[in-house]
Copies of this chain bind each other. A is one copy, B any other.
Amino acid sequence: MDDLGKEMHRLCSDLFPICRSITGNGVRKTLRQLKDHLSELDIVEIPSGEVCFDWKIPKEWNIRDAYVIGPEGDKIIDFEKSNLHVVGYSVPVDKTVTLEELQEHLHSLPDQPTAIPYVTSYYEERWGFCLPEEQRKQLKPGTYHVTINSDLSDGSLTYGELILPGRSEKEVFLSTYVCHPSLANNELSGPVVTTFVARWLAALKDRRHTYRIIFIPEGIGSIAYLSRHLEVMRQRIIAGFNVTCIGDDRSYSYLASRNGDTLADQVALHVMKHMHPDFVAYTYLDRQSDERQYCSPGVDLPVCSIMRSKYGEYPEYHTSLDDLYLITPSGLMEGYEVLLQCIRCIERNETLKLTVLCEPQLGKRGLYPTLSTKESTKQVRDMMNLIAYSDGKHSLLDIADKIGVPMWDLWPLVDRLKAHELLEAVG
């Protein structure tokens, strides 16, 4: 288990240097490396210009090199050192400018003087560089040469998709995004944890539900994917999770779906409450990621978010400080475990019905423990409560919520009572 956390952190380290954006070779390279861990992954291309609802797939952006040469002839900003130095989707430039002109294209953070900010300009053509405030302050008047060797032209948007069929056509949906360059919690943790969850699911012998798992660029990626699959998704998805910011060690967060009471919400809240009772609950008003599309009017998928420290809520967010030290093997591992537990809860959720009237006689079936310990007392109480609420109306998750115990405490009891034909699943 511990090893798995380290393995995930190692994959984050491998992917960290790649310059990802919403399109381009960085995304392709990232997806190919994920596919090394998840052979079933399909890599799909959507051509620039394809209409997706109110949007169009943008031109593809690729960058080879970028730097600023200072008045003294040395490279003072260099894309080779950090791909955050260049504003995402910067158009090509190669010219000499004064410091004043340069300043108009620089971005830094006065409050975080050592951090390089993460800035993009997907839908308006411009160019720019990002640097730490403390470096910017030392820039001297003079002549600077700026070079961005980038390319913005027709190509495609690339995403990864994996459908793992189950006994039922009903789907559980996982979505994560692969468009952030060298940033760790937001967002390499999401695709890496999702890859490992998908691997666990792929290895699962008997999947009840079908799993739809996608690795997309944020925003345009979810819109594009929805525009191609909306009908089937609306018919089949019973719960979904936007997997993001799931690798640091500090807190647990849940962000509600628009409706707030879908199965995804119920499961996420249940798991959080019992595994990490000090989690932070955010409402849909705090949203800022792909649930904006999945929960939009007319789309209305049951999708919420499970996170460690939420985007926008931790100081390193969207700066070079969100690095490989911010995420940890245990942080990734526990995020992975929460997500797995949510999936287990959905797999085991069913509506149960007692097969006899009144309480069954458990004694004659040896279902009362002969030695009464504190643990067995709790088990008997849980079993009697499970029986009491197995009325063909409450789901097992409802029952667990009603009696205030983790759903997983009930699984061995359900198995035992089913084996004695005292409980049966309905509907």
Contacts and interface: CB of A to CB of B under 8 A. Distances in A.
Contacts of A295: 388
Interface string A338-355: 000000000000000110
A18 interface: no
A361 B54 contact: yes
Contacts of A359: 54, 223, 292-293, 296
Nearest to A355: B54
B361 A55 contact: yes
Interface of A: 52-55, 123-124, 222-223, 226-227, 230, 258, 284-285, 287, 292-293, 295-300, 353-354, 356-361, 363-364, 384-385, 387-392, 403-404
B364 A296 contact: no
A361 to B, nearest CB: 5
A370 to B, nearest CB: 9
Given A357-B230, A359-B292, A297 B391 contact: yes
Contacts of A222: 358
A258 B356 CA distance: 17
A76 B52 CA distance: 88
B285 A357 contact: no
B54 A299 contact: no
Query: Which 7 A/B pairs are nearest by Cβ-Cβ distance?
Result: A297-B391, A54-B356, A54-B360, A293-B358, A223-B358, A53-B357, A123-B363
Nearest to A122: B363
Contacts of A53: 356-358
User: How often does this chain occur in the complex, in copies?
Assistant: 3
Nearest to A295: B388
A388 B353 contact: no
A389 B292 CA distance: 11
A285 B399 CA distance: 12
B123 A298 contact: no
B357 A296 contact: yes
Nearest to A402: B285
A222 B359 CA distance: 11
A227 B359 CA distance: 12
B226 A296 contact: no
Given A223-B358, A292-B388, A299-B357, 12 more contacts: A53-B356, A54-B357, A54-B359, A54-B360, A54-B361, A123-B361, A223-B359, A227-B357, A227-B358, A258-B388, A297-B353, A297-B391
Contacts of A223: 358-359
A358 B124 contact: no
Contact of A357 (B226, B292, B384, B392): B226
Nearest to A370: B124
Nearest to A390: B297
Nearest to A224: B358
Question: Which among A296, A363, A385, A392 has the highest number of chain B CB atoms within 10 Å?
Answer: A296
Q: Which of A54, A123, A285, A363 has the most CB of B within 10 A?
A: A54
A392 B354 contact: no
A226 B358 contact: yes
Given A361-B123, A363-B124, A354 B55 contact: no
A296 B354 contact: yes
A354 B123 contact: no
5 contacts: A292-B384, A292-B388, A296-B388, A298-B391, A299-B357
Contacts of A354: 296-298
A351 B73 CA distance: 63
Contacts of A390: 297
Interface centre among A52, A227, A358, A384 (most CB of B within 10 A): A358
A296 B55 contact: no
Contacts of A360: 54
A359 to B, nearest CB: 6
A296 B353 CA distance: 11
Contacts of A287: 388
Nearest to A354: B297
Contacts of A52: 358
